[in-house]
Structure 1
């Protein structure tokens, strides 16, 4: 085991606006690239499971197997466990832990994956190595990571470019890599995977309900989430600047032609 602990700070935190946004995620809209590789008997570990919506979904793909959701912020697991109970899912458990130092023996799982996690950690290569350690020979390590630098939107309100720049500075101050998508495959190679299978998918919000939901999330996150706290405490932005960003997201969400694309890179790595 690695005997390491996380050095970076999670940029988004777990404000209600963040958890609400993450609760939209499902297996099909977030890890569709991995689903064809799953078999009914598999034992799976979901790293950084958050409110557990992806984890609970994946359980249905392994009815004779089991999935464990691991999360550093133990408080959000109450919601994850409640969701599993509500859905009647029993081949699942949730545990609090640090993925830099997993409390599992070598080769415990058939599949270990994470979704939008490596961009927020201090040593993504080391975390991939730890994920590899607890995966069986012939198993799978997979990840999906956004690339904030290539997000695009319409209309091109100046305040959204300000938000993008602020996000980059806050994420880097926290010790993360906001453009993780473009280097994800290279991280995998450094972690010892010889031939990571690469792909890219995009969340695109163009429907009025979707753009309203996304904009309202950032209206609050710009002011009240850990993103705002880090920006203020480190002099990256003033309260007035954050208010301006929040107002811009509100304005964008009200535009009849609002559109945004959020690309993420994906890797599937087979262990030897």
Structure 2
């Protein structure tokens, strides 16, 4: 993930991620003695779930954000895990030798990597992931595609908030479009026969899920820099700074509220 400061709501959101709800697509490939690298590990909940699947192996979780890494280290103590470590590192410049890991995985990371001049961030990230993966190993990534979002009902503040987030990704020169995963993989050096893509839908529909997601989105807007940057860049008005978070809260109170987004799942064999 980015090295920008994580808001409390972002850390809370990432903490509910588990291997079961994020990594089921590559779990069948895991063997007990493997060495795994988890990129963009956040507060470590996925990483430590995966650690339990390699009792005779090890897993390393990395993230650019020191706050997240500190949270992950605390989680190690809470869960009493002895085969996992966490450190601050950048996927674009991994501090590991070639052919080090059996599996290199990432969750919602490639979409955050900036495109610089002629270089595509996601492609450069996959090149580094490929470099540190052993021959015969696999590189895995699960990335959302912002174009797939379904939001009902169409409350203005929510829709404006969705558009703001997409507009901000353009300013950061990132590509929040997981549907490009196969394209990224081919550009990073994998041949078509060694690339497998699939998809999974994340959705919130029950009253509890909707309330949690709406409040989470409202707090992420309030606690982060999106609103201020949006005003500064002329993407939203000063008045909208208040209406966007409140829109999510209004949405979460609707009995028919529904949100979904498609995640594209990528497995590349080296």
**TM-score (normalised: structure 2):** 0.93
Once residues 208 and 25 of structure 1 are traced to their aligned partners in structure 2, the CA distance between those partners, rounded to angstroms, is: 19
Q: CA deviation at 1:257?
A: 1.7
8 A Cα contact 1:128 1:188, kept in partner? yes
Partner of 2:143: 145
Once residues 28 and 252 of structure 1 are traced to their aligned partners in structure 2, the CA distance between those partners, rounded to angstroms, is: 28
Partner SS, residue 56 of structure 2: coil
Tell whether 2:212 aligns with 1:213: yes
Q: CA deviation at 1:12?
A: 7.6
Partner of 1:196: 195
Partner of 2:170: 172
Query: 4+ residue runs of structure 1 moved beyond 6 angstroms?
Result: none
Give the paired residue count: 262
Alignment of 1:119-130 (within 5 A): 119-122=111-114, 123-130=121-128
Tell whether 2:23 aligns with 1:31: yes
Partner of 1:237: 236
Once residues 14 and 229 of structure 2 are traced to their aligned partners in structure 1, the CA distance between those partners, rounded to angstroms, is: 20
Once residues 105 and 79 of structure 1 are traced to their aligned partners in structure 2, the CA distance between those partners, rounded to angstroms, is: 26
Going from structure 1 to structure 2, the CA distance change for 1:191 and 1:47 (only over 3 Å counts) comes to same
Q: CA deviation at 1:137?
A: 0.2
Q: CA deviation at 1:13?
A: 4.5
Alignment of 1:153-172 (within 5 A): 153-172=151-170
Q: CA deviation at 1:158?
A: 2.8
- Structure 2 portions without partners, runs of 5+: 115-120
Once residues 31 and 255 of structure 2 are traced to their aligned partners in structure 1, the CA distance between those partners, rounded to angstroms, is: 43
Partner of 1:74: 66
8 A Cα contact 1:149 1:164, kept in partner? no
Once residues 153 and 12 of structure 1 are traced to their aligned partners in structure 2, the CA distance between those partners, rounded to angstroms, is: 27
Going from structure 1 to structure 2, the CA distance change for 1:12 and 1:264 (only over 3 Å counts) comes to farther
Tell whether 2:54 aligns with 1:62: yes
Once residues 226 and 36 of structure 1 are traced to their aligned partners in structure 2, the CA distance between those partners, rounded to angstroms, is: 39
8 A Cα contact 2:2 2:64, kept in partner? no
8 A Cα contact 1:56 1:92, kept in partner? yes
Q: Deviations over 1:39-61 (max 9, x none)?
A: 11110001111111111111011
Once residues 148 and 11 of structure 1 are traced to their aligned partners in structure 2, the CA distance between those partners, rounded to angstroms, is: 21
Once residues 56 and 81 of structure 1 are traced to their aligned partners in structure 2, the CA distance between those partners, rounded to angstroms, is: 10
Once residues 40 and 229 of structure 1 are traced to their aligned partners in structure 2, the CA distance between those partners, rounded to angstroms, is: 47
Partner SS, residue 261 of structure 2: strand
Q: CA deviation at 1:228?
A: 2.8
- Structure 1 portions without partners, runs of 5+: 1-8
- The higher relative CO (CA closer than 8 Å, separation ≥ 6) is in 1
Once residues 96 and 254 of structure 1 are traced to their aligned partners in structure 2, the CA distance between those partners, rounded to angstroms, is: 39
| Aligned-residue CA RMSD (Å) | 1.5
Q: CA deviation at 1:153?
A: 1.9
8 A Cα contact 1:48 1:69, kept in partner? yes
Once residues 226 and 103 of structure 1 are traced to their aligned partners in structure 2, the CA distance between those partners, rounded to angstroms, is: 30
Partner of 1:98: 90
8 A Cα contact 2:185 2:195, kept in partner? yes
Q: Deviations over 1:149-208 (max 9, x none)?
A: 2100221223322122111111111121122x1101110111111131110001111111
Once residues 64 and 222 of structure 1 are traced to their aligned partners in structure 2, the CA distance between those partners, rounded to angstroms, is: 42
Q: CA deviation at 1:240?
A: 2.0
